[in-house]
Amino acid sequence: MIRSRGTAHINGSTKLAGVTGWPLEHTLSPAMHNAAYEELGLNWVYMPLPVRDEHGLAHLAAAVRELPFVGFNVTMPYKQAIVGLLDEVSEAAVAAGAVNTVSQAEGWLIGHNTDGVGLIEALRTDAGFDPLGKRVVLLGAGGAARGALAALLSAGVESMTVVNRDGRKAADLVAETEPWHRSAAVETAAPDNALCAVREADLVINATSLGMRPGDQSPVPVEWLSPRQLILDMVYGTPRPTALLEGARFLGATALDGLGMLVHQAAAAIDIWSASEDSPAPRAVMRRAAEAQLDARFRPEEA
């Protein structure tokens, strides 16, 4: 059972953090962050900061400059819109084309992207997978796919194939990230034409939103997968494994859902805000807090 220290520690010196986006009803971030702050003994508190539109986002950014915020996270639909409200943006955020973490010091706002770090950490620590020299198929060409592409290229993958329903978006994504391709071969394939790339891949990542709703099909036929592969589905927080993960596990492949990536990106944000290499954010505690929240969400109502 997760026990919380409640609100007794909040006093005149408490620092603030939070997550902005819309809607935020289902966010797991407050549970993960507050559990981590308690474990680290930080006098911080993390809150949902929902804003309805970009006008609200601008007001929030202005308020953060005046208040004792260590920073805040940014989720859908503002990961791009926030960029114009910041003073500086990290190289990782420029490569990812999005900001999911903002740090604040003396009114100066710096944008970061920890989604990519979160993905790489999840692959390394949760599956022992080093992307260096590997062949990857990336399903999707939205915001999450772009962040994943940038992070995997910087981790030294040998090749990437981007597979998306809208082929033009996949081609745009490959063209926009050209400065970060280095020696990797980066190409696109239509979903119906991706059999070879999927068969040859060491890692297949689902960065489409397929799998979020009950009854969603797998973004590629699961028969194309093989037991030697690692499959990571970015979808998380569903009551049942997605069709992709279920099929991959049935075949004997290693299959991760998106919860590990979510935990690692949140932990990386805390590491930026605390700037403490000696006390990294407690990943295991954060994962337990997220799982407890999901368990409570899916537990049948008691009569």
Q: Which residues are catalytic?
A: 79
Q: Which is nearer to ligand NDP, 17 or 232 (CB)?
A: 232
Check binding of 234 to ligand NDP (CB under 6 A). Answer: yes
Q: Rounded to the nearest 10 degrees, what angle do helices 29-40 and 259-274 cross at? A: 50
What is the total residue count of the chain? 303
Q: Single out the residue of 97, 116, 258, 282 in contact with ligand NDP (rule: CB under 6 A).
A: 258
Q: Report the sign of the C-alpha dihedral through residues 205, 117, 280, 76, in that order.
A: negative
| Of the residues 30, 143, 247, 282, which one makes contact with ligand NDP according to CB under 6 A | 143
Q: Is residue 142 at the binding interface for ligand NDP, with CB under 6 A as the rule?
A: yes
120 close to 131: Cβ distance less than 8 angstroms: yes
In the complex, the smallest distance separating the C-beta of residue 86 from ligand NDP, rounded to whole angstroms, is 20
Q: Does the protein bind ligand NDP through residue 121 (CB under 6 A)?
A: no
Q: Structure tokens of 210?
A: 């397929």
- Which range touches ligand NDP (CB under 6 A), out of 32-40, 44-52, 223-231, 261-269? 261-269
Q: Applying CB under 6 A, does 145 fall inside the site for ligand NDP?
A: yes
| Least Cβ distance, residue 107 to ligand NDP (angstroms) | 29
Q: What's the distance, Cα to Cα, between the start and end of the chain in Å?
A: 22
Residue list 209-228, contact with ligand NDP (CB under 6 A): 209-210, 212, 219
Q: Which is nearer to ligand NDP, 158 or 291 (CB)?
A: 291
- To ligand NDP, the closest distance from the beta carbon of 123 in angstroms equals 12
Distance of CA 113 to the CA centre of its chain: 9
Residues 203, 136: contact at Cβ < 8 Å?
A: yes
| Beta strand pairing call for 230-233 and 254-256 | parallel
Interface residue with ligand NDP among 164, 177, 218, 242 (CB under 6 A) is 164
Contacts (CB under 6 A) with ligand NDP, residues 38-67: none
Please report whether residue 261 would count as binding ligand NDP according to CB under 6 A.
Answer: yes
Nearest one of 295, 293, 300 to 29, comparing CA atoms: 293
Site for ligand NDP in 180-209 (CB under 6 A): 207-209
The verdict on 73 binding ligand NDP (CB under 6 A) reads no
What angle (nearest 5°) sits at the alpha carbon of residue 231, between those of residues 229 and 233? Answer: 175
Q: How far apart are CA 11 and CA 287, in angstroms?
A: 27
Residue type, 225: L
* 101 closest CA partner among 259, 272, 234: 272
Give the footprint of ligand NDP on this chain (CB under 6 A): 76, 115, 118, 140-145, 164-166, 169, 207-210, 212, 219, 234-236, 258, 261-262, 265
